Chain A
Amino acid sequence: GIQVEQSPPDLILQEGANSTLRCNFSDSVNNLQWFHQNPWGQLINLFYIPSGTKQNGRLSATTVATERYSLLYISSSQTTDSGVYFCAVARTGYSTLTFGKGTMLLVSP
């Protein structure tokens, strides 16, 4: 199956700082999503981004499919950004997702 590696595994930031989270995957994919799991366990869709660049407020993501990686950028981080960020991929558009191990982010005030 596809291997998904996320880095860094843990990240501690001061409020207001910027950060970049990385997701590497081992095979061609047609589906890549970024999720934020809040401290209560709820997964929130951030981006569906099998290729290209998208932005949503302070968050943006870029996937370079040919080089098999995706980046999630968080700018001007806030304490509410704390939680675990997961990258998940699938070979086809609507097949099962394979999740990375996540990046645990803690933003301190």
Chain B
Amino acid sequence: GAVVSQHPSRVICKSGTSVKIECRSLDFQATTMFWYRQFPKQSLMLMATSNEGSKATYEQGVEKDKFLINHASLTLSTLTVTSAHPEDSSFYICSAGGALKETQYFGPGTRLLVL
């Protein structure tokens, strides 16, 4: 099946620093990747849709200057949390569309803790 990786799996940083999270589709090409955020004991909330070679589409209420998304190739999308603050602490999950475009395959997630 389709495999999606994320790196790092967890990160702890100081307030004010920037953190980059990578999402890779390992065995298929994904023209579209999605970034979600999940708070403890809550559902997944879509942050943005990342399209290869074009600007990301952000959901309402998500600051595009705060959460920078780059989809430089068909197998890699990155999310950069700029000037992170404690309220940005969360579980960030990416997904990629598979060969059957209707399905999405999810990465293992990245736990971000901002001190």
User: B residues within 8 Å of A by Cβ?
Assistant: 1, 32, 34, 38, 41-46, 49, 91, 93, 95, 97, 100-106, 108-109, 111
Which of B1, B93, B97 interacts with A94 by CB under 8 Å? B97
Known pairs A43-B93, A99-B44; A93 contacts B106 (CB<8 A): no
Query: What is the bound-complex CA distance between A73 and B38, given in angstroms?
Result: 25
Please indicate the chain B residues that have their CB under 8 angstroms from the CB of A50 in the complex: 102
Please indicate the chain A residues that have their CB under 8 angstroms from the CB of B105 in the complex: 45
**Extra contacts besides A41-B108, A42-B109, A50-B102 (16): CB < 8 Å:** A33-B103, A35-B106, A41-B111, A43-B106, A44-B106, A48-B103, A86-B43, A86-B44, A88-B44, A93-B101, A96-B34, A96-B49, A100-B43, A101-B43, A102-B43, A104-B41
The number of residue pairs between A and B whose CB atoms lie closer than 8 Å in the complex comes to 53
- CB B100 to nearest CB in A, in angstroms, measures 7
Query: What is the bound-complex CA distance between A50 and B102, given in angstroms?
Result: 10
Please indicate the chain A residues that have their CB under 8 angstroms from the CB of B104 in the complex: 33, 45, 97
User: A residues within 8 Å of B by Cβ?
Assistant: 30-31, 33, 35, 40-45, 48, 50, 86, 88, 93-94, 96-102, 104
Smallest CB-CB A-B distances: 7 pairs = A43-B106, A41-B109, A94-B101, A93-B102, A99-B43, A99-B44, A101-B43
- CB A49 to nearest CB in B, in angstroms, measures 10
Please indicate the chain B residues that have their CB under 8 angstroms from the CB of A96 in the complex: 34, 46, 49
Please indicate the chain B residues that have their CB under 8 angstroms from the CB of A33 in the complex: 103-104
Query: What is the bound-complex CA distance between A33 and B38, given in angstroms?
Result: 18
